Amino acid sequence: MSRHSARADAVSVPHAGRPGLAWAIPGVLFFLVFAAAPMVLVGYLSFTDWDGLGSPSWIGFDNWSRLWNDDGMRNAVWLSVLLTLCTWAVQTPIALLLGVWAAGRQRYRAVLSAIFFLPLLASSVALALLWRTLFDPNLGLAADVAEWFDLETADLLGSSRGAFIAIVFVASWQFVPFHTLIYQGGARQIPRSLYDAASIDGAGTVRQFFSITLPQLRNTVITSSVLMVVGALTYFDTVLILTNGGPGDATRILPFLMYEEGFRTFELGYASAIAATLVVIATGVSLLLVRLTGFTRMQSTREGL
């Protein structure tokens, strides 16, 4: 709450220009129909058998017991978890370092930040196409790189591990700018006085980073991490275009498995069970992260200032 509204609470004239709830109805209805209701419906559909043409027929827990025993599902969950961890571990240090660096107000930092930002503007489809071309073992940049470093093969996407690494790399390349901006915003709000006091006490840059910048950015780290986790669980465009889930099932992550079951083999009931699992995992992980780090207590990182 801002200072304004805190004060306003004390002196406001009752009903002075207060809109009725009717104003919100169009927006709320629209949101309920196209976003909230589908959340509920996906649960319902996961108990049905549906090929996408007729109407769904209730089959009880069949989809769920099949899901529980599906090796493809286990593989997909494992890959999604691994992808989440890897993209987090790659993006966080880079974004943190770049974001704090970019928070400086020098002109050249602003210019470089504007360039860093570019990948974020393009669609995942456009970027995945670009990287698909670059990774081409015969014609792409990969061929040149393999030659320079005398690598055995230039076919990164041809091996299971290589394809997975490629997904992590492309996703990070695309989303580091977003998280850099978040960290930049966070770092700019750290009071200058903290650094001044620390320098007077003789703390060096490294010391200042670990004793001031990092603790002050705690909430920013949580925000960015939650967004990364939810983001990583939903990479789909990149996988579809870059590897198509392959080679074999090496990059068949949860949303991709759902797409295949739903819109390639048209088992939409079973695909709904996968989608529902996706929702549960995404919500669960975010809540866990928020709970573990004490974000809900809404402690201010500026306490005692």
Partner 1 sequence: MTQTQAGTVAERRPATPPGTPAGRPARGPGRRLPRGNYPAGFAALLWLAVVVIPLYVLVISTLQDRASYLENGPLSLPTSPSLDSYQRVLEGEFPRYLLNTLVVTVSCAAIAVVLSVTVAYTVVRNRSAISRRTFQLFLLGLAIPSQAVIIPIYWLITELQMYDTLMAVILPTAAFSLPVSVLILVGTMRDIDEELYESMALDGASQTRILLQLVVPMSRAGISTVGVFAALGAWNGFLFPLILTQSQENRVLTLGLYDYIGEYRADIPALLSAVVLSIVPIFTAYLFARRQLINGLMGVGGR
The footprint of partner 1 on residues 19-58 (CB under 8 A) is 19-21, 23-24, 26-28, 30-31, 33-39, 41-42, 45, 52, 56
Question: By CB under 8 A, is residue 59 in contact with partner 1?
Answer: no
Joined together, the tokens standing for residue 281 give 């995992």
**E strands along 109-175, which residues?**
none
Joined together, the tokens standing for residue 124 give 């995942």
> 8 vs 3, 15, 19, 54, CA distance in Å?
8, 13, 16, 57
Question: By CB under 8 A, is residue 67 in contact with partner 1?
Answer: no
Nearer to partner 1, 38 or 248 (CB): 38
Cα 94 from Cα 92, distance rounded (Å) = 6
Question: By CB under 8 A, is residue 276 in contact with partner 1?
Answer: yes
Max alpha carbon distance in the chain (Å)? 77
Per CB under 8 A, contacts with partner 1 among 192-211 are 192, 195-196, 199-209
List phi, psi (to 5°) of 48.
-125, 165
Shortest distance, position 285 Cβ to partner 1, whole Å: 10
DSSP string, 56-79: -EE-TTHHHHHHHT-HHHHHHHHH
List phi, psi (to 5°) of 123.
-75, 155
**Which of 137, 165, 173, 293 lies at the binding interface for partner 1 (CB under 8 A)?**
173
**Candidate segments 73-81, 82-90, 150-158, 215-223, binder of partner 1 by CB under 8 A:** 215-223
Q: Based on C-alpha coordinates, what's the Rg of the chain? A: 24
Question: By CB under 8 A, is residue 157 in contact with partner 1?
Answer: no
Shortest distance, position 58 Cβ to partner 1, whole Å: 15
Length of the chain, in residues: 305
**Candidate segments 71-79, 83-91, 155-163, 219-227, binder of partner 1 by CB under 8 A:** 219-227
Cα 32 from Cα 64, distance rounded (Å) = 26
Cis peptide before 247 (omega within 30 of 0): yes
Strands 57-58 and 48-49: antiparallel
Nearer to partner 1, 92 or 220 (CB): 220
Nearer to partner 1, 82 or 146 (CB): 146
Per CB under 8 A, contacts with partner 1 among 243-272 are 255, 258-259, 262-263, 268, 271-272
**Candidate segments 60-68, 74-82, 151-159, 280-288, binder of partner 1 by CB under 8 A:** 280-288
Binding pattern to partner 1, positions 74-93, x when CB under 8 A? --------------------
Contact 150, 92 (CB under 8 A): no
Question: By CB under 8 A, is residue 212 in contact with partner 1?
Answer: yes
Per CB under 8 A, contacts with partner 1 among 109-148 are 109, 112, 114-119, 121-126, 129-134, 139-141, 143-144
